């Protein structure tokens, strides 16, 4: 196989992506479908799932933090795909923007449940299939999983946890031929980061534009990344060229220097 050919996933991969109906998840789903993969996505929004599915992409309505719903999701994926080669734990929420003393237990729990429990459930219910296929587990973390993030403590704690989960899975499942990695997106262009920036701007009393510039000033390349940038990294990790990458926390961020 040529080096160029090794950079593309083989045709026919069977891929499950949580929160695959929008944003980063949708870009990943469409990227894999373009390579000839068969993809099963989940999302809590039934209409969003309906808008993305068709052709090579099937889907289920499921809350990634719910054990029973995630179990049913994996059953549906196996039924549609006949097995799994790649599991991408992509579901996540931003959580509150506030001083730790102002964050309620309910807000804390909800952020950890979706971001960290969701990744654990994806690993738990995907383990057997990935062992059978000697496949790849990818967890979506964040640069907040390698840097301190004031006023976003539940989000940061959850993403540090996701990195630890991926690294531990790499050691645990590696002897079975399973690779596990975390991707750490930076400031991803789109409506979600706009909401985060607006929340922080409101908290400190500045304009959205001023806060956006403050965010970008912390990025060496002075620009946001795109959902397609993250999708491309997932495709590489599932390609022959990524076959020996495991246990890594891969930042795709333009080099975020601080948060």
What are the residue numbers of the active site? 155
Q: How far apart are CA 45 and CA 29, in angstroms?
A: 16
Alpha helices for the chain (secondary structure H): 23-34, 46-52, 67-81, 105-112, 118-133, 153-173, 191-204, 208-216, 227-237
User: How many CA atoms are closer than 13 Å to the CA of 179, on its beta-carbon side?
Assistant: 21
Q: Which residues contact 124 (CB under 8 A, 6 or more apart)?
A: none
Environment class of 3 (CB within 10 Å of its CB; exposed 0-12, middle 13-18, buried 19+):
exposed
Q: How far apart are CA 238 and CA 70, in angstroms?
A: 22
Q: How far apart are CA 10 and CA 32, in angstroms?
A: 10
Are the beta carbons of 53 and 105 closer than 8 angstroms?
Answer: no
Q: Which residues contact 132 (CB under 8 A, 6 or more apart)?
A: 83
Instruction: Return the number of other C-beta atoms located less than 10 Å from residue 148's C-beta.
Output: 11
- Residues 55-73, buried b or exposed e (16+ Cβ, 10 A)? ebbbbbbbbbbbeebbebb
Q: Which residues contact 112 (CB under 8 A, 6 or more apart)?
A: 154, 157, 158, 161
């Amino acid at each position: 196989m040529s080096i160029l050919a090794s950079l593309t996933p083989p045709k026919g991969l069977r891929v499950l992506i949580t929160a695959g109906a929008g944003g980063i998840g949708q870009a990943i789903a469409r990227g894999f479908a373009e390579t000839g993969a068969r993809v099963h996505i989940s999302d809590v929004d039934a209409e969003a799932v309906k808008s993305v599915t068709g052709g090579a992409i099937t889907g289920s309505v499921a809350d990634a933090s719910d054990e029973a719903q995630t179990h049913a999701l994996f059953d549906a994926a196996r039924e549609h795909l006949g097995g799994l080669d790649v599991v991408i734990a992509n579901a996540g929420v931003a959580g509150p923007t506030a001083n730790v003393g102002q964050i309620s237990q309910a807000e804390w729990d909800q952020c950890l449940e979706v971001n960290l429990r969701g990744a654990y459930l994806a690993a738990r219910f995907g383990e057997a299939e990935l062992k059978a296929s000697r496949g790849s587990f990818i967890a979506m973390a964040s640069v907040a999983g390698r840097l301190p993030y004031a006023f976003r403590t539940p989000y940061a704690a959850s993403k540090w946890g996701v990195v630890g989960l991926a690294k531990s899975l790499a050691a645990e499942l590696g002897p079975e031929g399973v690779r596990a990695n975390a991707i750490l997106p930076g400031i991803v262009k789109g409506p979600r980061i706009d909401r985060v920036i607006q929340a922080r701007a409101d908290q400190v009393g500045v304009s959205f534009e001023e806060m956006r510039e403050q965010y970008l000033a912390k990025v060496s390349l002075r620009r946001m990344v795109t959902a397609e940038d993250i999708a491309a990294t997932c495709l590489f990790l599932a390609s022959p060229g990524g076959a020996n990458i495991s246990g890594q926390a891969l930042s795709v961020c333009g080099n975020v220097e601080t948060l």
